[in-house]
Structures are given as structure tokens and as C-alpha cells.
Amino acid sequence: MNRWMEWRGLVVAMIATSGLTALADFLLWNHRPGLSWAIFVTALAATLWLVQGCRRRPWIAWTLLAGAVAQSVMQIGLANVIVEIVLILFLVSEWYGPELQGRWSRWTEAVWALVKAPFRWVWLLAELLRDPLDTAGVITQRLWHATMIFAPALVVTVVFALLLGSGNAIYGQWMGHLPERFFDWLWSQVSFGRLLFWATMATLFLAMVRPARASKKPRPWVFEPGRFPEPSKMWVARWRGYAVLLAVNLLYLGANGIDAIYLWEQAVLPPDVTLSEYVHQGVASLIASTVIAGVVLILIHQQADAAVTRWTRALSYAWIAQNGLLLIGVLRRLRLYVESYQLSEARVNVALFLVLVACGFALLAVYLQRRHSFTWLLTRGVAAVLILFYVVQFFDTAQWVAAYNVSAWRNHPRSDRYLAFDVEYLRELGPTAWPSLKQVAESDYQPDASRAAKALHEALVYDQTLDNWRSWQWRAAKAIRECQPTSKPPAVPQTDATRVYEDSATANEEKLSASSPEGRAAP
């Protein structure tokens, strides 16, 4: 009986893997993700719910996943996809509930199971071939029951298909060409890329529905890293920490002092330094310096307790404060650059990353004060990243960026509008940014209005070529409805671009009329 239960588990795993692979192909292959992605994630989560049986079900994770799936219906973004993948892995990790203690150990074990997913095919083949004679009687009985259930249905289907094909010429012709059409579809639609997609999806799904057993020995990444061994000469370790912290504090003091003079007080720059060089260039290096500073502080305070004195902590707090000032300076640089050029999604992401780094330094200060373990700091840092991603996924960054740029364009001097406004970037931001582009197209400022009208028309035409229910998203659909050209736009000089924009209104009205029941019924 135990062997039969194992076989039933294997059959369930194979059916779930095959079904999820077919669903992924139907929903995701060669389609822009949208509603299809939300359906797929829901089906994957439901499958995990069913195959895990009576195992633990963390309701918080399920609730968070439901919110993320709802956001996928609204609008898909990178943060949304990352959050859903992390939560799906968390659900997979509950398979190890009886074997492993602690969420971190279970989640990392689930990640490791996906890393070694290709080897699950070897395991599946070995399980199917193991001890076939022990359960031959049970398997034969089950196969006989299946034959008794489905064989009559197959016979009746064939008989009535032949009768209907003989009585209906069109139906008979269609049934006769069915095998030919199937093989034509197979050769025309199945490519090497699609086969690779099937293999990849099936491998991942098999590892999710039947993950590998956890190791009896603790994994290396689960071990709690202790403090460094106590040095033979304690005074050397102390003064080494003093020297490092004092040197970097002096360096940061100089950099923050220069920012106070030239960035905040806006003093005249040296003749050999341009505003672009000072404000824009080097931002990545400044951000990298703050991240490396956190690593250095962790290494210093991972020393033995006797090597970390109150002077070490005081210098560390001073360095953390100076890193905070440096982060504020980077934000100031971003603001000046946006005022000179324009806002972009990349600059918004940089600002969010700076907020995350600031949270990391706040956690680091608590870690230093209370002498917490490194695992405490790591888990809180990972939690901060996930919280940021979960919150950010609900923001429509593209719409906000477009609205900000259009508002800045309206307040710009008229003579500089052509140089200050980038209509192509607004078009590339996606449908939720197009209502802002429409505002420019319907304005009376040339040549920006003409360029915006042309860009909006091209965007709407291109979006129609990708129109599919799988790609549907609520925010995008709402924005596209708002962007449909009006029959009587505001008074704009009749350039070629605006004439194209007006013509697209007539084309869209004719298309809607033809797709309506009244339009189809008209002669």
C-alpha cells in the first residue's frame, strides 16, 4: 500500500507538471504578459495548495500573494514579478515544514531545489523503474479500471464521428483533414525555442510540486557566522579599527564639506569643473561607496567583543551619520539633474535604492549598538528589500514620471520647450504615460504638439498590433481609452503630424462601428 501511495504521488506530480507546462505555453509563449500572467500565477499557487495536502499553509504569504496577483491584473512590473516569484518560493518551502525549522532554512532549501531542478528527471525515472514487480497487481488492476471507464467512451466517439462525417460533407471533410492540420500546426508552430521553453517550464514545475528532500546536514548558508577569533594582540586589533574609521571619517568629512559649499550653497564651481561633471558624473561611485562602507563596518564589528570599544562605536556612528549626509547629497544631485533635464524611471529607481540604503544604515546602527548577530542583520535587510518591492509594485511610476515631465514642460520658457521635452521617452514609457502625451498633442505650442501627436498616433497603432486578451491590463486599457483622439481637437496648426492624429480618430470610430452588432448587420 505504501508503494501504491508513492506511485499515486508520482502520477499527481506528472499530471501537475504536464498541466502547468501546457498552461504556461498557452498563456505566456509568444505573448506580452498581462492578464495571462495573473491567471498563470493563480493556477500555480492553486496547484501547490493541492499537492501539498495537509502541510502547513501560511495565510500571510497567501494573502500577500493574492494582493500581488491583483496588482498583476492592474499593471505588471518588475517589482510585481519579483514579489510573486519570492512568495511562490515561500509556498514551495512549506514542503519542508516537518523537516526544517526556521523560515530562512526552508526558503533557501526551496531555492536550492530549483537550482538542482534538472536532476529531478533522474529521480523521477528511477522512481518509475524501482520495484515494478512489487506493485504489478495493483497497477494492473488500476489500468483495468481505467480501461473499463474510458474504452466505451472512445468506441462511441469513433462510431458517431464516422456517422456524422458520412451525413455531413463539410464535417466529414473537416474530420478527414484533422490529422493533416494537426501535423501542419506541429511543424509550423513548434520551434526549437518553444521546445526549450517547454523543457524549462516542466523542469521548474517538477521541482516545485515534488522538490528534492532536504539534506540531513545543515546547509552552509544556514550556519550562524560567529565573531572573529580573539586576536593574540588585542591592542593591535583595536588600533587597526581606530585607524580605518578615523581615515574614512576624514575623507567623508572633506567630501561632505565640498558638497555643503558647492551643492547646497551653490558657490561658483572651479573653472575646470562643469555642472554636469559635478552633479551627474560619479553618482554611481558615491552610491557604491556607501554600500562598501556598510560592509567595512560589519567586518569591523564582527571582531571579538574585546576588540570593539566605545571609541570604535563612536567612530562608527560618526561614519554612519556621514554616509547619511552623502546619501542626501546624492538625492540633491538627482534633483538638480532632473531640473536641468527631465525625470526618468531610472532616476526614480535610484532614489528608491538610496532610501533602501538609508534603511540599511539604520539597521546597521541598531546592530552595532546591541551587538546583534549577523543573521539578525541579514534577515532584517532582506525583509526591508521585500517590503520595498511589495510597496513599489503598486505605484504607477511611468504615469507619475510622464505627468511630472509634462508639468515641468508647461512651466518651461517657451523658447526652450523644444529642447526640454522628450516625446519619444514618454511614448516608450507605455500606455499609462500616453494621457500625458495627449495633453501635449492637444496643446497650442509648436512644434512640440505636432511631435507629440505623431508619437501618440504611432504608439496607438503599434499597441493595436499587440492587442490580445492575454496582454490586457486594467491601467493600460483605461489609459488607452483616455488617449483615443477626439474628433475636434484644440486649435493646432495643421501640420502633417496633427492631421495624422485627427485621421486616426476617424479610423478608430469606423473600427468601433464595424465591430458593433449594428455595424456588422449594416449592408
Q: In terms of C-beta density within 10 A (0-12 exposed, 13-18 middle, 19 or more buried), how is residue 110 classed?
A: buried
Position 219 in a domain? no
Instruction: Tell me: do 117 and 75 sit in the same domain.
Output: yes
Sequence-distant (≥ 6) Cβ neighbours of residue 425 within 8 angstroms: 342, 344, 405
What is the predicted pLDDT for the residue at 97? Answer: 65
Between residues 350 and 225, the one the model is more confident about: 350
Query: Are 252 and 162 part of one and the same domain?
Result: no
Query: Is the predicted pLDDT of residue 129 greater than 80, yes or no?
Result: no
Q: Are residues 152 and 201 in the same domain?
A: yes
**Are residues 277 and 317 part of one domain?**
yes
The answer to the question of residue 483 being in a domain is: yes
In a domain, 218, yes or no: no
368-392 tens-digit pLDDT: 888 888 888 888 998 999 999 999 9
pLDDT tens by residue, 21-53: 999 999 999 888 889 999 999 999 999 888 876
From 363, 392, 421, the end of a domain falls on 392
Any domain includes 226: no
Q: What is the mean pLDDT of the chain?
A: 80
Q: Taking residues 152-172, what's their average pLDDT? A: 76
User: Which residue bears the cell 510585481?
Assistant: 80
One domain, residues 423 and 382: no
Stated pTM of the model: 0.76
Q: Is residue 227 part of a domain?
A: no
Cα–chain center distance at 517 = 40
Does one domain contain both 265 and 342? yes
| Position 492 confidence tier, pLDDT thresholds 50, 70, 90 | very low
463: confidence class by pLDDT, cuts 50, 70, 90: confident
Would 215 be classed as within a structural domain?
no
Q: Is 196 in the same domain as 291? A: no
88 and 129: one domain?
yes
Q: Which domain holds residue 421?
A: 397-516
**pLDDT tens readout for residues 300-324:** 888 888 888 889 889 999 999 999 9
422 CB burial (10 A radius; 0-12, 13-18, 19+): middle
Residue reference for cell 496607438: 460
- For the ranges 112-116, 375-379, 392-396, which has the lowest average pLDDT? 375-379
Whether residues 481 and 437 fall in one domain:
yes
Could you tell me if 205 and 321 lie in one domain? no
**Res. 67: pLDDT tops 90:** yes
User: In Å, how far from its chain's centre is CA 49?
Assistant: 23
Residue 220 lies in a domain: no
Over the stretch 138-148, which tens digit does the pLDDT of each residue have? Answer: 556 666 777 77
Most confident of 112-121, 141-150, 502-511: 112-121
Long-range contact set of residues 355-361: C-beta below 8 Å, sequence gap at least 24: 355/388, 356/384, 356/385, 356/388, 357/287, 357/290, 357/291, 357/294, 357/327, 358/324, 358/327, 359/384, 359/388, 360/294, 360/384, 361/290, 361/294, 361/320, 361/323, 361/324
**Number of structural domains found in the chain:** 3
